[in-house]
Amino acid sequence: MRIVLVGQAPFGAKVLEGLLEKGEEVVAVYTPPDRGSRLDPLKEAALAQGIAIYQPATYKDDQVFAEYKNLQPDLTILAFVTDIIPEKFFTEPSLGSICYHPSLLPLHRGASAINWAIIVGRIKTGLTIFWPDGGIDTGPILLQKEVEIGPDDTTGSLYFNHLFPMGVDAILESVDLIKEGKAPRIKQAEGEATYEPPCDDRVAAIDWGKSAQDVYNLVRGCDPQPGAYSQLKGEKVRFYGAKLLQKPPDEVPGTVVKVDTDGFQVAAKGAILVVSKVRPETGGKMEAAAFASERGLQVGDRFGNEG
């Protein structure tokens, strides 16, 4: 079976490694154009194996499709794809194409599925391998795997500890089902579908008027990217490594109630947010205690977003 792998990053590299370990024939790898001097991990892995590499700037170019068609793929696998790919690329392979998505579709369609599952307070999520049809995560489902969302999970911990390794295994399992002729195509329940926008600064501002749990979910869902933020004396400060202390504060939400060697604590509606790391507007991520010392943060100072 001639396989074309489209993807990037460590996830794409691990999928390639798994396919080759199973003896699959990967005839080409598609990955984004180089950015800077550092090679994408999937490109590095393909180079090491002597696999043909394609890095189109756009998939809308007729020549790009012609090159792809000449590969005569039986199956195309999309593993961590952020480019917009026309539907004809999915239907060209004789056995079709499959795509990994880190949610239980039709829930959380879109580019920030893991973030939103945490932000909206779900206690479970999972992954879906589906047959892409040109819509945004709308194709028939091949298989799904569930995972619990722990009360202190972040987007980072959920992905790297669970959805990354489970996703690689699920893709390999899907390939086996396709080879055996046992891969289902289960129509998604459109009435249950949700779609959220990318998790960026347009949604990452902390609203101290919301419940402490909602604030905590936003901080967890935006960790590691983009980082939920609040303003302090005109500076945008992003919160990471947070915990929720179930102790109703007397202070107004957003007020600093404690500063110590572990970081600082901020009053929220019904509980206290404990912050261990931050990222100020200039510089990288740092210990919250060091930030507090540098800025002279004191009990009674108040975080809040303008506008």
| Residue pLDDT, tens place only, 70-114 | 999 999 999 999 999 999 999 999 999 999 999 999 999 999 999
- Indicate the class that CATH gives domain 2-192: alpha beta
d(CA 43, CA 10): 10
pLDDT at 307: 45
CATH fold of 212-295: Methionyl-tRNA Fmet Formyltransferase; Chain A, domain 2 (3.10.25)
Place of tokens 């109630």: 257
Q: Would you kindly state where each structural domain of the chain is located, as residue ranges?
A: 2-192, 212-295
pLDDT at 230: 98
> What is the pairing mode between strands 2-7 and 263-268?
unpaired
pLDDT at 305: 74
d(CA 42, CA 82): 14
Provide the residue-wise pLDDT of the chain in tens; the chain has 307 residues.
999 999 999 999 999 999 999 999 999 999 999 998 899 999 999 999 999 999 999 999 999 999 999 999 999 999 999 999 999 999 999 999 999 999 999 999 999 999 999 999 999 999 999 999 989 999 999 999 999 999 999 999 999 999 999 999 999 999 999 999 999 999 999 999 999 999 999 999 999 999 999 999 999 999 999 999 999 999 999 999 999 999 999 999 999 999 999 999 999 999 999 999 999 999 999 999 999 999 999 999 999 976 4
> What is the pairing mode between strands 97-101 and 75-79?
parallel
Place of tokens 């990217």: 225
Digit-coded pLDDT (tens) for 219-236: 999 999 999 999 999 999
Q: Are 256 and 208 in contact (CB under 8 A)?
A: no
The number of beta carbons lying within 10 Å of the beta carbon of residue 84 is 9
pLDDT at 306: 62
